[in-house]
Amino acid sequence: MRETSIEEAVGRKYPEWVTLVVSGDGAGQVNAMPAGWVTFTSIDPVMLAVSVGHERYTYQLMENSAEFVVTFPSSEQKKDVYYCGNNSGADVDKFSKTSLRTEEPSVVSVPLIKESVVCFECEKRGELVTGDHTIFSGEIVAAHVSEEKMEKIYTVKGWHEKGQAGFQTVEEMVRDGGSN
């Protein structure tokens, strides 16, 4: 093994899946934030966790809400995911600036995003501060899948510089031989 910088070593985690975390203020305002730092944490009940930076508008919303939704966007949603990751809901209404459309949830009051590969409705169960992010733990109380949209998107190394081209499907990663 060669000792290296933490930055170089962390770069080897890619590809990383991309989710969209949907949160709301309870008074009708809804926001969507791309998050790679989402993981499943429990089988019974099925739970997941998302790590949210303290500067994000999503952090304010999730701090003050007991519910959130995690979606896996489809490959057709790359452009909108890119927009949501480069703008803050504190400044813009992302749903009026993108083609993302909401859909009624079953249990929580935060909406689903239409044409996602999958959406999970979550009830917040806990929080843990980790440095400049907070991990929000959620129990999945309802789930929805698309019958048509199957291709999730991943970030490949260097996505910050590559813009939308930094988001790829598994098929695109295989085609490019991991060179992106």
Residues in touch with ligand FMN (CB under 6 A) = 18, 31, 33-37, 51-53, 56-58, 85-90, 133, 155
3-state secondary structure 25-65: CCCCCEEEEEECCEEEEECCCCEEEEEEECCCHHHHHHHCC
In the chain, the amino acid numbered 69 is V
**Between 85 and 105, CB nearer to ligand FMN:** 85
**Between 33 and 113, CB nearer to ligand FMN:** 33
Closest approach, Cβ 173 to ligand FMN, in A, equals: 15
Q: Cα separation of 143 and 47, whole Å?
A: 12
Position with the least CB separation from ligand FMN: 85
Closest approach, Cβ 94 to ligand FMN, in A, equals: 7
Q: CB-hemisphere CA count at 13 Å for 165?
A: 6
Closest approach, Cβ 90 to ligand FMN, in A, equals: 6
